[in-house]
Amino acid sequence: MRPVAISVDSPEASRDLCKKARYTYTFLSDPNAEVIRRYDLLHAGAGENGHDIARPAEFLLDASGIIRWVNLTDDLRIRMRPEEAIRQAQKLL
Protein backbone atom coordinates (compact mmCIF):
# COMPACT_ATOMS: atom_id res chain seq x y z
CA MET A 1 0.00 0.00 0.00
CA ARG A 2 1.06 3.56 -0.57
CA PRO A 3 -0.64 6.87 0.16
CA VAL A 4 -1.35 9.37 -2.61
CA ALA A 5 -2.74 12.88 -2.14
CA ILE A 6 -4.66 14.89 -4.73
CA SER A 7 -5.01 18.66 -4.48
CA VAL A 8 -6.45 21.50 -6.59
CA ASP A 9 -3.17 23.33 -6.05
CA SER A 10 -0.75 23.80 -8.93
CA PRO A 11 2.12 21.32 -9.28
CA GLU A 12 4.51 24.01 -8.05
CA ALA A 13 2.39 24.77 -4.96
CA SER A 14 2.06 21.06 -4.20
CA ARG A 15 5.81 20.55 -4.61
CA ASP A 16 6.54 23.48 -2.28
CA LEU A 17 4.09 22.18 0.33
CA CYS A 18 5.62 18.70 0.21
CA LYS A 19 9.09 20.11 0.63
CA LYS A 20 8.07 22.39 3.51
CA ALA A 21 6.02 19.73 5.31
CA ARG A 22 8.51 16.96 4.47
CA TYR A 23 5.85 14.76 2.92
CA THR A 24 7.40 11.66 1.39
CA TYR A 25 4.34 10.29 -0.39
CA THR A 26 3.07 11.04 -3.90
CA PHE A 27 1.23 14.35 -4.13
CA LEU A 28 -0.75 14.88 -7.34
CA SER A 29 -2.04 18.16 -8.70
CA ASP A 30 -5.58 18.46 -10.08
CA PRO A 31 -5.90 22.22 -10.75
CA ASN A 32 -9.00 21.77 -12.92
CA ALA A 33 -10.54 19.49 -10.26
CA GLU A 34 -11.33 16.79 -12.82
CA VAL A 35 -10.59 13.84 -10.52
CA ILE A 36 -11.93 15.69 -7.50
CA ARG A 37 -15.27 16.23 -9.30
CA ARG A 38 -15.37 12.59 -10.36
CA TYR A 39 -15.36 11.58 -6.71
CA ASP A 40 -17.87 14.31 -5.81
CA LEU A 41 -15.36 16.02 -3.53
CA LEU A 42 -15.44 19.58 -4.86
CA HIS A 43 -16.10 22.21 -2.21
CA ALA A 44 -16.89 25.09 -4.55
CA GLY A 45 -15.74 28.50 -3.38
CA ALA A 46 -14.58 27.26 0.03
CA GLY A 47 -10.92 28.09 -0.44
CA GLU A 48 -8.93 31.26 -0.05
CA ASN A 49 -10.37 34.13 -2.13
CA GLY A 50 -13.32 31.93 -3.10
CA HIS A 51 -11.26 29.32 -4.94
CA ASP A 52 -12.58 25.80 -5.25
CA ILE A 53 -10.97 23.21 -3.01
CA ALA A 54 -11.39 19.51 -2.36
CA ARG A 55 -13.34 18.23 0.62
CA PRO A 56 -11.19 16.25 3.03
CA ALA A 57 -11.55 12.58 2.18
CA GLU A 58 -9.66 9.35 2.43
CA PHE A 59 -10.16 6.34 0.18
CA LEU A 60 -8.66 2.88 0.39
CA LEU A 61 -8.49 1.11 -2.94
CA ASP A 62 -7.56 -2.48 -3.59
CA ALA A 63 -4.98 -3.60 -6.15
CA SER A 64 -7.67 -3.49 -8.86
CA GLY A 65 -8.53 0.14 -8.08
CA ILE A 66 -11.87 -0.70 -6.47
CA ILE A 67 -12.81 1.57 -3.56
CA ARG A 68 -13.04 -0.56 -0.42
CA TRP A 69 -13.34 2.11 2.28
CA VAL A 70 -14.20 5.83 2.37
CA ASN A 71 -13.92 8.51 5.04
CA LEU A 72 -15.60 11.83 4.20
CA THR A 73 -16.05 15.01 6.18
CA ASP A 74 -17.47 18.44 5.44
CA ASP A 75 -15.31 20.10 8.08
CA LEU A 76 -11.80 21.03 6.90
CA ARG A 77 -10.58 20.84 10.49
CA ILE A 78 -11.53 17.19 10.92
CA ARG A 79 -9.05 14.72 9.47
CA MET A 80 -8.64 11.02 9.85
CA ARG A 81 -5.84 9.98 12.20
CA PRO A 82 -3.05 7.94 10.56
CA GLU A 83 -3.70 5.10 13.01
CA GLU A 84 -7.26 4.82 11.71
CA ALA A 85 -6.06 4.60 8.10
CA ILE A 86 -3.66 1.82 9.07
CA ARG A 87 -6.36 -0.02 11.00
CA GLN A 88 -8.78 0.16 8.06
CA ALA A 89 -6.08 -0.86 5.57
CA GLN A 90 -5.16 -3.90 7.69
CA LYS A 91 -8.79 -5.06 7.48
CA LEU A 92 -8.41 -5.27 3.71
CA LEU A 93 -5.35 -7.52 3.81
Distance CA 37, CA 59 (A): 15
What structural domains does the chain harbor? 4-92 (3.40.30.10)
What pLDDT does 13 receive? 92
Has residue 75 got a pLDDT over 80? Answer: no
For 45-54, write each residue's pLDDT tens digit.
Answer: 888 899 888 8
Q: Are 27 and 7 in contact (CB under 8 A)?
A: yes
Q: How confident is the model at residue 38 (pLDDT cuts 50, 70, 90)?
A: very high
Helix locations, the chain, DSSP H:
11-21, 34-38, 82-92
The per-residue pLDDT of the chain, averaged, comes to 88
Residue 1 has pLDDT above 80, yes or no: no
pLDDT at position 21, please? Answer: 93
